[in-house]
Structure 1
């Protein structure tokens, strides 16, 4: 059933962390995000004009709490709710008090039925008066979130069929790259094959290739584990660097990404399942790459 609503962008990712203070320092002092609000076991951080692009939540186990996608309008949100119900999902509206606490417009939450992936749709977010500081890196945006699953084809097909995602490229049997139509970026959501459903990585896009190099040296100096890269992804054309946060969840800095027009976009490519399909330079990730980040359980 074709989705009859339109995405604006990937809005934010909410992560569960075991040591809020330590992880907050990591994302502000090493990644370069700005903190906007810290209260009640939660920290809101941003890499642009929005109130938040990352929410850190104190929890016993690290992992993914939810991924929030902004839709183009409240009408799109209403259509999304009805569409999800028709597809057999169980969306639930957020109450006004929670929306206000999040500095967001109306929203709804649901889980992908096959994997339990926690998702949110919302319409509108408060903009901050002060511009993003870009103290350490010229971060342009929260670029994408990639998740892992044992059944990549089933998850890919359901996200395209039920939730309106469009396939940009796929490395056969390894990873699929999806864009939230009509957002132009090569992927806002990725699906990688793994032994369980969990977070794979969170990406931040930078506007200067030197920010990738500076991050590499800054992270090494502070003894942060680099787990993949630097390298260059053939599917998107991005220069990449992957590293671990204090809980072992994987974070990526990247520079550059292919963009698609709303109409007349090229067909998706199927690439062979070899390391060179993931890195032009032939690099391989370490064993700690994309290993931590179970989904928060329902209820």
Structure 2
């Protein structure tokens, strides 16, 4: 079985690179790391080398999601499973890995969620202390994919990638954890008319981080599109807002944790307003709809 540490990295295509950098540094609270050889701006929100990469592009959207494996021994069962599923696995060159503070990495294009995925192990000396700024971000929490083929995507992530289901809201969205990571979900798969980004989550350390964000987002002219509220499924307090390109981001505080052995069974909850939010906030229609299509390997301009 494939074992993961967590969702480690998200890469976004953005229209105005410097504008987005300022937003994610000054408003969201990430820390600038460096600019890669490909022009991507790398930022972080915890002790990892980087957790978010911004790339200049004509259209905004998801470029890649990166999942940190538990150790290098996980590559063999992962590649075997992916190959058996008919997917082409691309090994990332050693020089590129070193530039990204990775020991080893492979990349695929997963057609069911319509996204490029990367699986990697970081270099052992790549961690460094992180000092929070405007928000006490604890970690990159999760990414949720929009897809018109949600049922088959859930099967793939469960049966091939070895993610575990935690809960679902009818056919609307299914939450899955990066097993054996304890957190309620590291990804979500949402039913939608096209492949695009649903949202990216940053988990904060205290509930006050959610409250203080309201004034900061207003001053930055960033629209709050859902919340504050509380999700019954994960028991998280949440706040959703739009980045400069209309991509949905989330702060959340608190989340159910699962034991590795003998976890509770996943629940199927009705997608009612009360099951979306205990507190009764109303969701803006712009929330969760993405800004553009996910970047395909051709649009990214690379296979690995």
What corresponds to 1:85 in structure 2? 83
* Match 1:199 to one of 194, 197, 200: 197
Instruction: Work out the CA distance in 1 between the residues paired with 2:8 and 2:163.
Output: 15
Distance 1:151 1:129, change over 3 A: closer
The question of 1:68 aligning with 2:66 is answered yes
Cα deviation, 1:241-271, whole Å, max 9, x if unaligned, reads 0001111100000000000000010001110
Contact persistence 1:22–1:246 (CA under 8 A):
yes
What is the TM-score when the length of structure 1 is the normalising length?
0.96
**Partner residue, 1:136:** 134
In 1, Cα distance between equivalents of 2:257 and 2:60: 32
Structure 2 residue runs of 5 or longer lacking an equivalent are: 299-304
8 Å contact 2:43–2:51 — kept in the other structure? yes
Which whole-Å CA distance do the structure 1 matches of 2:282 and 2:292 have between them? Answer: 21
Q: Aligned in 2, Cα 1:31/1:126: closer, same or farther, shift over 3 Å?
A: farther
Distance 1:94 1:58, change over 3 A: same
The 1:157–1:198 alpha-carbon spacing in structure 2 relative to 1, beyond 3 Å, is: same
User: Residues 293 and 13 from structure 1, CA distance in 2 versus in 1: closer, same or farther, beyond 3 angstroms?
Assistant: farther
RMSD of aligned alpha carbons: 1.3
Residue 25 of structure 2 corresponds to: 28
1:13 aligns with 2:13: no
The corresponding residue for 2:264 is 266
CA distance 1:115–1:256, shift in 2 (3 Å): closer
Match of 1:46 in 2: 44
Match of 2:295 in 1: 296
Q: Whole-Å Cα distance in 1 between the matches of residues 235 and 99 of structure 2? A: 38
Give 1:275 shift. 1.2
Maintained 8 Å contact 2:137/2:202: yes
**Equivalent position to 1:243, from 241, 244, 248:** 241
Deviations 1:252-299 (A, max 9, x none): 000000000000100011101211111011222111112224211222
Partners of 2:201 and 2:128 in 1: CA distance: 23
Question: Contact 1:139 / 1:207 at 8 angstroms: preserved in 2?
Answer: yes
- The aligned length equals 296
Equivalent of 1:189, from 187, 190, 194? 187
Report the Cα offset of residue 123 of structure 1.
1.1
Q: Which residue of 1 aligns with 2:154?
A: 156
Contact 1:50 1:127 in 2 (8 A): no
Give runs of ≥4 in structure 1 deviating > 6 Å. none
For residue 236 of structure 1, report the CA deviation from its aligned partner: 0.3
> What is the SS of the residue equivalent to 1:191?
strand
Q: 1: distance between equivalents of 2:6 and 2:220?
A: 32
Structure 2 CA distance, aligned partners of 1:283 and 1:78?
46
| CA contact 1:149–1:195 (8 Å) conserved in 2 | yes
**2:187, 2:93 → 1: CA distance?**
26
Q: Is the 8 A contact 1:20 1:41 kept in 2?
A: no
2-structure distance, mates of 1:125, 1:140? 21
2: CA distance between counterparts of 1:61 and 1:126? 35
1:275 to 261, 273, 276: 273
Question: In the alignment, which of 103, 108, 126 is matched to residue 101 of structure 2?
Answer: 103
Distance 1:169 1:65 in 2: 26
